[in-house]
Structure formats: C-alpha cells, structure tokens
Amino acid sequence: MHLLDLLTPARVKANVITSGKKRLLEQLASALSAGADGESERGIYDGLCGRERLGSTGLGHGVAIPHGRSARLASATGVFMRLAEPVDFNAPDGMPVDLVFALVVPEHYAQQHLLLLANLAEMFGDAGFRDRLRAAGDSAALYALLAEWQSEHPAAA
C-alpha cells in the first residue's frame, strides 16, 4: 500500500486553523472518519489520544504523525494537514508542529502500519520536501507534492 492510497484530495488540507493539540486531534478524527458514523469518529479520536498518551507522535522539525488502530475500519486511511499556525505537540526537539499526517489502520494491519509509519518518517525526514510543503499555495498543491514524492519513491509501499 502506497501512502497516496491513504489520501484523497479532500483529505489534504492547507492552512488549517486549530486552537491546540486536543482540538487538532478532534479535527483529524473527523476528517479520518468522514462518511462514517459518529461512533467511528469517537473511536478514532480515542485511539489517537490513547497513542499520544504513550508518547508524542511529534517527530521534530515541525512534523507530527498521529496514528492509531480501529476495529471499525476495513482499510487504512490518512489525512494531511498543514496548519496555519503551529501547535505544541511535545515533540522531542521542542518545536511546534505545522505539518501533520494522521493515519488510522484496521486492527489487523500490524506490519502494514509499521511500514506506513516508516515511509512517512522517510518522507518527512527530507528537509527540502518539508520546505516545499510549507511553501505550497493551497490544498491542491499539497496533494500534488505528496503525489510527486510517491512517484519518485515507488518502493515506499
């Protein structure tokens, strides 16, 4: 599974306004559960929060990858948000976060979950790519950059 398989253009958002980490996790859960029932959204939110309690999913350099598992989902889903203003995410480098890729996978996706996280860490480990994401004009430009990265890294699956 490629990272782009997790996204749709509607789940890539530029200049998202949020008031803090908790509100951001709520927004991510809503976007990840779009089209599902409210119980699924709540379960995703609880999963994201539960994972954050284990330790911050902030990677550093202004990037976070909140993630979790859900028994209610049949396939992995992702959402990418570039925040209008960075929020504190308790990242190891102390930098607030403005680039967020959230991921939720079915319970049985243990190996795929780890591979997706490794691919995301590789993608966001590229300082030039992070700069291009921050400079992108809108959501469509962000999606195009993510698609371009995927096409340049076909082994990242």
pLDDT in tens, 86-112: 999 999 999 999 999 999 988 877 777
Q: Which of 40-54, 105-119, 120-134 has the lowest mean pLDDT?
A: 105-119
End-to-end CA distance of the chain: 5
What predicted TM-score, i.e. pTM, was given to this entire model? 0.93
pLDDT for the residue 153 = 72
Once rounded to an integer, what is the mean pLDDT over residues 117-139? 94
| Catalytic-role residue among 2, 61, 67, 108 | 67
- pLDDT tens per residue across span 17-50: 999 999 999 999 999 988 666 678 888 999 999 9
Q: Rounded to an integer, what distance in angstroms lies between the CA atom of residue 127 and that of residue 26? A: 28
Annotation marks residue 113 as catalytic: no
Average pLDDT, integer, range 56-62: 95
* 141: Cβ contacts below 8 Å, ≥ 6 apart: 14
CA distances from 78 to 2, 29, 154 (A): 11, 10, 18
Average pLDDT, integer, range 2-6: 80
Beta strand spans in the chain (E): 12-16, 58-60, 63-64, 67-70, 77-87, 97-106
Residue 61: band (very low, low, confident or very high) from pLDDT cuts 50, 70, 90: very high
Of 46, 49, 52, which is closest to residue 72 (Cα–Cα)? 46
